[in-house]
C-alpha cells in the first residue's frame, strides 16, 4: 500500500476503467483509490451511454474534482481533457525562479531563426 502518493484537486491522473453504469464510469486509480466519473462529467454534450466513451479495462486520464481521503474515493471528470491521449501530461506553466525572463530573452531569437529557415525553403 503506497502511502506517499499525494493527490490534489485539479491533478490529471491515469486510471483503469473498472466499471460502467447508466450514471457513470468507475475507475481504479491505484491500490488505494477508486473514483467515479459521473455522467455529467463526461461531456458537455448529451451522454446516453458512458460505454460509448470508454471500455472496461481501458487506461484513461481523468481530472480530480474532489477527494475523500477517509474513504479513498475520488470524483473525477474527463469533460475538459484529452482523456484517451496516452501521452497527455498536465502541462500547466509553472513559473521558475527566473520567471519568464528566459522566454523574453529568447523569443525574438527563436522568431528570427524560424523566419530565416522559412526563407530558405
- Which CATH number fits the domain that encloses residue 31? 2.40.50.140
Residue 65 has pLDDT above 50, yes or no: yes
Q: What local confidence, expressed as pLDDT, does residue 77 receive?
A: 94
H, E, C per residue of 35-73? EEEEHHHCCCCCCCCHHHCCCCCCEEEEEEEEEECCCCE
Domain count, the chain: 1
| Residue 119 included in any domain | no
Give the helix/strand (H/E) hosting 87. Answer: none
Q: What local confidence, expressed as pLDDT, does residue 87 receive?
A: 58
Which band of pLDDT confidence, cut at 50, 70 and 90, is reported for residue 19? very high
Average pLDDT over residues 90-106: 69
Q: Which percentage of the chain shows pLDDT scores above 90?
A: 46
| Residue 102 included in any domain | no
| Residue 50 included in any domain | yes
Range of the domain at 30: 12-85
Amino acid at each position: 500500500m503506497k502511502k506517499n502518493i499525494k493527490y490534489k484537486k485539479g491533478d490529471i491522473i491515469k486510471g483503469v476503467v473498472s466499471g460502467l453504469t447508466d450514471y457513470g464510469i468507475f475507475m481504479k486509480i491505484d491500490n488505494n483509490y477508486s473514483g467515479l466519473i459521473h455522467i455529467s462529467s463526461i461531456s458537455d454534450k448529451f451522454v446516453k451511454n458512458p460505454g460509448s466513451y470508454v471500455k472496461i479495462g481501458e487506461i484513461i486520464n481523468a481530472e480530480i474534482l474532489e477527494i475523500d481521503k477517509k474513504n479513498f474515493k475520488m470524483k473525477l471528470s474527463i469533460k475538459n481533457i484529452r482523456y484517451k491521449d496516452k501521452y497527455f501530461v498536465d502541462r500547466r506553466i509553472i513559473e521558475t525562479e527566473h520567471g519568464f525572463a528566459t522566454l523574453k530573452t529568447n523569443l525574438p531569437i527563436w522568431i528570427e531563426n524560424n523566419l530565416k529557415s522559412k526563407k530558405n525553403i
